[in-house]
């Protein structure tokens, strides 16, 4: 196997086994796309993704 591929395999992690995974992934994908498209700043995108994910997991506490 090429060395780079071996490195990727060593560092690979399985997706979390949580019922909300698909929803959390959707939140992150939408905000990442918004940042890449210039619709949101990277900072705003991460802030919004974090806020939505907290709500999803039932922790609506606000973080700066």
pLDDT exceeds 80 at position 1: no
Its pTM surpasses 0.75: no
Q: What is the pLDDT of residue 4?
A: 86
pLDDT exceeds 70 at position 13: yes
Helix and strand tally (H, E) in the chain?
A: 3, 0
Inter-residue contact 15 to 21 (CB < 8 Å): yes
pLDDT tens-digit map of 32-58 = 999 999 999 999 999 999 999 999 999
């Amino acid at each position: 196997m090429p060395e780079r591929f071996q490195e990727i395999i060593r560092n690979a992690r399985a997706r979390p086994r949580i019922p909300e995974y698909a929803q959390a992934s959707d939140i992150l994908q939408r905000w990442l796309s918004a940042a890449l498209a210039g619709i949101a700043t990277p900072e705003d995108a991460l802030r919004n993704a974090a806020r939505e994910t907290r709500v999803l997991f039932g922790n609506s506490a606000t973080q700066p």
